[in-house]
A = this chain, B = another copy of it.
Amino acid sequence: MGTDTLQSRIGVAIRARREAMGISQEDFADHIEMHRAYYGTIERGRRNLTLVTLEKIAVGLGIPPSRLLKEAGS
């Protein structure tokens, strides 16, 4: 499927981490100072993230960016 891209797998990994934290997209987006609509598109795998954005999310999740990639299978 066209959904088996790195960006979509990262979106899944990010969502799993956020849900494990037990907070909403809106609250998490607020926490990392990112717009909730934009953050939503990332979880849905619609965004080809830049390093800066990837790091911002990883910091919010409390893990290194490399770990996020690893959990996304890359």
Chain A interface (Cβ < 8 Å from any Cβ of B): 6-7, 10, 48-52, 54-55, 58, 64-67, 69-70, 74
Contact = CB atoms under 8 A, between A and B. Distances in A.
How many copies of the chain does the oligomer comprise? 2
Contacts of A67: 66
12 contacts: A6-B55, A6-B65, A48-B52, A49-B50, A49-B51, A51-B54, A64-B69, A65-B69, A65-B74, A66-B67, A66-B69, A66-B70
Q: Which 7 A-B pairs have the closest CB atoms?
A: A66-B69, A66-B70, A66-B66, A48-B50, A65-B74, A65-B69, A6-B51
Nearest to A9: B51
A69 to B, nearest CB: 4
